[in-house]
Amino acid sequence: MLDSTDQLSVGTSPNSSAMNTPLPSRTPSPLPPFYSAPSSASDTDSDEPGSPLLLGPYSSTYLREGQPRWWHLPQRTRRGPRRPAGWGYRSMVRVLRRVFRHPFFPKHPSTILLSLLFFTVLALSITFLLIHLLNPDKEPLPWRAYCTMPEPSTDPPPLNAHPTFLNISTVESAPPMPPFPPSNFEALPPAGVFVGVFSMDSSSERRMLIRSTWATHPRSRNGAGHGDGGVGTSRTIVRFIMGQPRKAWERRVRVEMEEYKDIIILPIPENMNSGKTHTFFTWAASMAWVPPLYFDTDIPLPNFSYSNASSPMRFIASHDPIHARQDRASGPSAAQEWVRPDFVVKVDDDSFVMLAELEARLRVALHENRTEQLRDKHWDNNDLTVVSSPPGPDLVTPSSRDVQRLPSGALLAEDPLIYWGYLVKRRFMAGELYALSWSLVDWVSREPAIKNLVRGAEDKQTAKWMRLHPRAAEVRWVAERCWIYDHPRSGTVYSHGFLFPSEAARAREGVRAFFDRKSEPTNLPTTSAQNWYDKDWGAPAEWAVSSVSKFGTRYSLPIPNLTIPQSIEALVEGSDMSRLSEASVWSAEDAWQLREGQRRRYNGQRLGGTIVVHFVKKHMWFFETVLALLEGEEETAVGT
C-alpha cells in the first residue's frame, strides 16, 4: 500500500501517460476568445476543457453569464438603415460642395455676375411666357364693329360657343344700329335702379371722389345738354358695399357712415371672390329700396309681382335724387315710402358710371318687347308691344301729342328676367358693372344650389347662376359692348379714347366704307390668325384702331408741352388733338380751336354716349375722366 508521498510521485512520474503524449508538430491555430484550451488530459470532470458546443455543467463562462443565444434572438422587422441626425444637412453640404468644385461653376467675380444675369433673364423670360400663354386677351378688340351692328341676340349663349363671335359677313349684312334713345323713350316710366359700389375700408378717398362726381353731378344724372332735371334718375340711388372693416379702420368707417349714410356693411369678412357678391344680392333681396315714381308718365309703371312692396326710408344720402330729398324735406310722415328696385347693379369702385346713360339702357331693356294685358286690345309702338284699349276719350296711344295718361297700375306684366352688362367671350358679363332684374336677385338669394357656387371669379360665378335658373332659357342676356370700355391710359384690349356719339357715327361710316372698297380680301390684315375667307372669326385690324391708345403700349402725349385742357382733349377718341404728332403741320392751338362742343358730340341729344369707363386705377385717371365726360363747353367757336 502506497502512502501519500508515493502517490504524488507516481502522479508526476515521467512514465505517465501525460508525459508520453507526443507534442504537436506545428503551432496550434488561433482560438476564438471564448475558447480556453486544455492544459493536460485529465481524467477528472473538473479538468474537462470548456467549449461553446457543450451544454450543462461543461459550458464555458460565455454561456453561463446569461447572454442570449443566436437561435433565441428576436426577429427584427425589416426596415431601411437608420439615418443619423443631420443627415439631410450633410447631404446638402456634400451636393453643394460638388457643385462648387465643378469646373464649370463660376468662381471669378465677372463670371459670377454674368451667371446671375443669365439666370435672371431666364426667370423673367419664363414668367412672361407663362403670362402670355395664360392671358386670353392678346389682341385689341374690334370696338368699331361693336358700335356698328346691334347685338345679334339676347338668348343665353351656348356653353360650347366660340369665345369670339364677330362674323364679318354678319357685320356686312347686319341692319344699322338703331338710334338711341328710341323715339318714345320719354314716355316710358323711369326704372328703379339700386347701384351697389363694391368698396373696402381703406378706400375712403375713392368713395369721396365718387360722391362728388358721377353719383351727384348734373351731367351724370341729367344727361347732356340741358338734361331732364333728374327725372330719369329720380329712382336711381348709389350705395357703397363693403365687408366687415378691420379693427384699425372700424371707427373711421363708422364715422363715415354716420356722416354720409350711404355705406352698407355686409356680415362677412372683406373679400372679392369669396362670396361677397352673393351676400350682396342676398342682402339686396330683403333690404334694397329705391324711391317711388314721383310723377305720372304717358305709359304707367307695369304691375310686377314686387310692385306693391314698400318701406319707409329712414336715411337719405346727400347724393340721392333731388326728388327724393325734396320729398323727405316735406316731413317723415308725409314722405312716400320707397319700393323695390327693378334692377340691382354691382359696380367696382374703379368704374366711372354715367348714371343717366345706365338708367336709360336699363329702362329700355325693362320695357322692351314686354306684353301687357288691358281690356284684351293691343297696340304697338316703336318695338314696344303694349296691351291697351283702342284710342278713345279716356285712353289714347302714347304716340299722340295730345296724351291722356293711362291709369297707374292698369297694366299687368310678367316679371322680367334680365342679365345686363358687357358680354366677355360669350361667357359672362364683365365684373366692372352688371345688372340683374329684381326677380333674378330674389331667386339668387333663395336658391340653395347657389350657395356652393360663391367662390371663384365672381362675375363668372354669376353667369353660372343664371344658367341654373329654372327658366334659364328665358333669361335675357342683354349685352352692351360699344359704350363700356377701359380708360385710355390702361393699355388693355378693352381700351380706347373717351367715346362720344359723334365719333361712334364716324366709326360706323368707316366700317361701312370698308366693305365698299374691299377688292383683294386675301391681302387684308386681320386681328386674328384667320384670314378673310375664314368668315366666322376674322376681323380687319383697322376696326380695332384707336387714335388715342395702343394695346400693350404705355400711353404718352401726342406732343409735349400740352396744357391740362389740351391733354384731356388728346384723350378723346377721334379728336384732332389726339392725332397730332411731331410731324404735324397743325399746332396744339389749332387743334384746340377745332375741338367739338358737347352739343355736337352728342348730336344734339341728351343721351346715347359712354355708360362706363373701367380700369380707372389711379386718382389722376379719375380726374381725367371727370374733365372729359362731366365738364367741357356746350359749344365751341368752330366745332359746335
In a domain, 35, yes or no: no
User: Do 469 and 613 have their domain in common?
Assistant: no
Question: Do both 389 and 532 map to the same domain?
Answer: no
Q: Is the pLDDT of residue 97 over 70?
A: yes
Give pLDDT, residue 86.
67
Evaluate whether residue 118 is within a structural domain: no
Buried/exposed 53-66: b ≥16 CB within 10 Å, e otherwise: eeeeeeebeebeee
127 within domain boundaries: no
Residues 406 and 547 in one domain: no
pLDDT value of residue 92 = 86
In a domain, 520, yes or no: yes
pLDDT single digits (tens) 110-131 = 888 888 898 899 999 999 888 7
**Shared domain check, 539 and 601:** yes
545-588 residue pLDDT tens: 999 999 888 999 999 999 999 999 999 999 999 999 999 999 99
Q: Are residues 438 and 493 in the same domain?
A: no
Indicate whether 3 pLDDT > 60: no
Residues 363 and 377 in one domain: no
CATH number for position 359: 3.90.550
**47 vs 343: which has the higher pLDDT:** 343
Residue 186 lies in a domain: no
Domain span at residue 348? 193-218+227-367+422-480
595 and 500 in a common domain: yes
CA distance 89 to 176: 74
Higher pLDDT, 230 or 36: 230
Pairing between β-strand 484-486 and β-strand 612-614 as defined by DSSP bridges: parallel
Instruction: For residues 467 and 556, state if they share a domain.
Output: no
Calculate helix-pair angle for 438-446, 276-287, nearest 10 degrees: 110
What sign results for the dihedral spanned by CA atoms 87, 88, 90, 91? positive
Band (72; pLDDT cuts 50, 70, 90) = low
Domain presence at residue 7: no
pTM: predicted TM-score of the whole model, two decimal places = 0.76
Domain ends where: 455, 480, 505? 480
Domain count of the fold of the chain = 3
The arithmetic mean of pLDDT across residues 132-136, rounded, is 72
Which comes out higher in pLDDT, residue 376 or 271?
A: 271
CA–CA–CA angle 432, 572, 575 (5° rounding): 155
Cβ–Cβ under 8 Å, residues 156 and 472: yes
Among candidate residues 480, 513, 529, the one where a domain is terminated: 480
Q: What is the pLDDT of residues 154-168, one digit of tens each?
A: 999 988 877 665 667
Q: What is the pLDDT of residue 530?
A: 37
Q: What percent of the chain has pLDDT over 70?
A: 75
Q: Report whether pLDDT(27) > 70.
A: no
In terms of pLDDT, which residue wins out, 585 or 520?
A: 585
> What's residue 638's pLDDT?
65
**Mean pLDDT across the chain, nearest whole number?**
82
Give me the residue label for grid cell 343665353.
156
Which pLDDT does position 501 carry in this prediction?
97
Render pLDDT for 302-350 as a digit per residue (tens, 0 to 9): 899 999 999 998 889 999 999 999 999 988 788 999 999 999 999 999 9
Residue 111 lies in a domain: no
Task: Pick the more confident residue, 284 or 300.
Answer: 284
Task: For residues 461 and 510, state if they share a domain.
Answer: no
**Sign of the dihedral through C-alpha 444, 450, 451, 453:** negative
Does residue 208 sit in the same domain as residue 342? yes
Question: Could you tell me whether strands 343-348 and 428-437 are parallel, antiparallel, or unpaired per DSSP bridges?
Answer: antiparallel
- How would you class 226 by CB atoms within 10 Å of its CB: exposed for 0-12, middle for 13-18, buried for 19 or more? exposed
Residue 67 has pLDDT above 70, yes or no: no
pLDDT value of residue 109: 87
The domain boundary, picked from 449, 464, 480, lies at 480
Confidence of residue 406 (pLDDT cuts 50, 70, 90): very low
pLDDT at residue 311 in the model: 95
Which is nearest to 218 in space by CA: 606, 621, 639? Answer: 606
CA neighbours within 13 Å on the CB side: how many for 118? 7
Please state whether the peptide bond connecting residue 52 to the residue before it is cis, i.e. omega within 30 degrees of 0: no
284 — pLDDT class (breaks 50, 70, 90): very high
Is residue 20's pLDDT more than 90? Answer: no
Q: Is residue 197 part of a domain?
A: yes
Whether 379 shows a pLDDT value over 50: the answer reads no
Query: Are residues 377 and 522 part of one domain?
Result: no
Residue-level pLDDT at 526: 46
Q: Do both 343 and 442 map to the same domain?
A: yes
On the CB side of 49, how many CA atoms lie within 13 Å of its CA?
11
| Greater model confidence, 626 or 58 | 626
